[in-house]
Amino acid sequence: MTDHRSIEILTGLTAEQRVALGELYARLDEELRVEVHRRQRELFKEWLALGRVAPSRGGEAGYAAFLAVLKQIWIEQAPQVTQPVREHKPYKKRLRAALEKNYLDELVRLREEEKLSWRQLSDHFKKEFKKTVSHTYLKRIYEEHQADRE
Report domain extents, the chain. 4-81, 91-149
Give the span between the Cα atoms of 48 and 81, in whole angstroms.
33
Residue 55 CB partners (closer than 8 Å, separation 6+): 48
> Residue 84: how many CB atoms within 10 A of its CB?
6
In contact, 43 and 68? CB cutoff 8 Å:
yes
12: left (phi over 0), alpha (psi -120 to 50) or beta: left
pLDDT digits (tens, 9 = 90+) for 1-45: 566 777 777 777 788 888 888 888 888 888 988 998 999 889 888
Least confident of 25-34, 53-62, 77-86: 77-86
- pLDDT of 1: 56
pLDDT band at 78 (very low <50, low <70, confident <90, very high): low
130: left (phi over 0), alpha (psi -120 to 50) or beta: left
Give the span between the Cα atoms of 119 and 102, in whole angstroms.
20
pLDDT digits (tens, 9 = 90+) for 115-126: 989 999 889 888
